[in-house]
Amino acid sequence: MVATSSEAGAEARRYGRSAGLLSAGIGSAGLLTYLYFALASHNLTRPEYGQIVVLWSAVIMTISIIHRPVEQLLSRTVAERRERALSIGRPLRVAGVIQAGIAAAAAALALLLRTPLENNLLDGKTTLYWVLVVGVVCYGASFYARGFLAGSRRFGLLACLLLNEAFGRCAFALAVAIGIASGQSVIALGIAAAPLLSLVVVPLGFAGRAHGSTSQAPAMPPRSEIDFTLASGGSFAAAVLLVMLSEQTLLNGGPLLVRASVGAAAAGFIFNVLMVARAPLLLFQGIATSLLPHLTRLRSRASSEGDAAFRLSVRGTITAIAVFAVAVCVVMAAAGPQLMQIAFGSKFTYDRLGLLCVSAGMGLYLAATTLNQAAVAQGQVRRAAICWLACAASFLAWNLLPVLSDYRRVELGFLAAAMALCALLYRLYAHPVTRPADLVEPGSSKELEARLAAAEEAG
């Protein structure tokens, strides 16, 4: 038992170091994103700032749904093949074809829907429309690079990529703030330029490919040579898209719902409130990126040491989240409205109850994300997707009811959805039930499919 506890502690510490490195980079990028919106809020009128928020929400929701599956697919495949000393050339080519096809389809659809997007969503602003199109297409290359760097465990370069993206976007807002440029269009252009600027570090990542294309681990038996094809992810793609769509509904659906019912200025207000939850989620991405592979590796050991380390990692992550969430709630209760006006200007008046609802929801949502990683590592992929879909649908249904104000419905709906999601995923984690069809033979093609599904479902 002593040996088991020692091994579990060592595993948890190793995971903590890798997650901490990436979290530091993502946290810095999150602060720069905060600064971008703070500068935009101070230098634009309420309607103009609201239009920037709507544009950003539309871009983030779109790229997260259409580009993140390929990012996670490539990340997990590269890591898998390096561990097994297999070539990664074919996965890189196939993933590139998939990503290019998605970007082309997105561009074609945006051009087809130009009139409703430009006139109805973006209030007739042509510049904002083209920023939307260019941003969505260019983020395809950025997400492809993220997947390769993550799968290659080049976390330092991945952090630099995210920092370059955030800094490039913020530079446009800063140029307006100090008087070098002026107007909403300049600030909006930062959203389209950011993914291109993030690619500056990519040559460094691919430069080391020739030296590290395979792992030093012994090669697996011939039956482990798994072909990576365009159809390899077909069996779980639908569930992945549902999870991505559900996630974006909970995180970014609020401003769009308020925009539809009240207007762009109101969307800017609720976006600022939800930043209390969104910024910590950016920081948590570093933990989430390394958590699923870590838990999957521990789970695959089928030993008491692996199980103990698995439980300890989940428990430690949730404990840290709880401490952080309580601290945020205390700060919001003491000086939340004042801090929000310092950050985003005095155009809006914030109330403590709404800020506390979002702060508590943030903690529950982060815990739910951790439990989702654990449940997926246990083989509960499809059941986890059902939980996400049910909570997102309930969130939408609640916001369509004619009760309370539009703002309060979003705030309370986010809290309730996060609470329900956390409870449902905890049940999956605590009481895993694996069907015979979910079981896969080690080394088989179904094993790769299950692991890729786990990476995708993590979101």
Does the structure show a pLDDT above 60 at 448?
Answer: no
| pLDDT confidence of residue 391 | 93
387, two tokens:
């939980």
436, two tokens:
């015979």
CA–chain centroid gap for 449, Å, is 21
Report the candidate in 384, 365, 367, 366 with the shortest Cα–Cα distance to residue 432: 384
pLDDT digit string, tens, across residues 4-37: 555 555 555 555 565 666 667 777 777 888 888 8
pLDDT digit string, tens, across residues 271-300: 788 877 777 776 676 666 667 666 766 666
**124 vs 54: CA distance, rounded Å:** 13
Report the candidate in 234, 321, 243, 202 with the shortest Cα–Cα distance to residue 64: 243
- CB neighbours (10 Å) of residue 457? 28
| pLDDT confidence of residue 132 | 93
What size, in residues, is the chain? 459
**192 vs 169: CA distance, rounded Å:** 8
The per-residue DSSP string of 329-369 comes to HHHHHHHHHHHHHHHH-TTS---HHHHHHHHHHHHHHHHHH
Report the candidate in 99, 102, 103, 98 with the shortest Cα–Cα distance to residue 229: 98
Indicate the average pLDDT of the chain.
Answer: 76
Q: With the C-alpha atoms ordered 150, 152, 155, 158, is the resulting torsion angle positive or negative? A: negative
Give the model's confidence band at 102: pLDDT under 50 very low, under 70 low, under 90 confident, else very high.
confident
pLDDT digit string, tens, across residues 110-139: 999 999 998 888 888 899 999 999 999 999
57, two tokens:
């929400």
**301 vs 269: CA distance, rounded Å:** 48
**458 vs 233: CA distance, rounded Å:** 15
Mean pLDDT lowest among 127-131, 172-176, 238-242, 404-408: 238-242
**380 vs 374: CA distance, rounded Å:** 9
| Contact present, 37 and 208 (Cβ < 8 Å) | no
- CB neighbours (10 Å) of residue 348? 19
DSSP 8-state code for residue 218? P
Q: Please state, in angstroms and as integers, the Cα–Cα distance from residue 152 to each residue in 23, 83, 171, 205, following that order.
A: 17, 10, 30, 9
Report the candidate in 130, 147, 46, 27 with the shortest Cα–Cα distance to residue 94: 147
pLDDT digit string, tens, across residues 37-80: 888 888 888 888 888 888 988 888 888 888 877 777 777 677 66
| Contact present, 412 and 351 (Cβ < 8 Å) | no
The per-residue DSSP string of 219-261 comes to PPPGGG-----TTTTHHHHHHHHHHHHHHHHHHHHHHHHHHHH
Does the structure show a pLDDT above 80 at 144?
Answer: yes
Does the structure show a pLDDT above 90 at 423?
Answer: yes
The per-residue DSSP string of 100-115 comes to HHHHHHHHHHHHHTHH
Does the structure show a pLDDT above 70 at 197?
Answer: yes
Does the structure show a pLDDT above 70 at 425?
Answer: yes
* pTM of this structure: 0.68
298, two tokens:
């521990």
| pLDDT confidence of residue 73 | 72
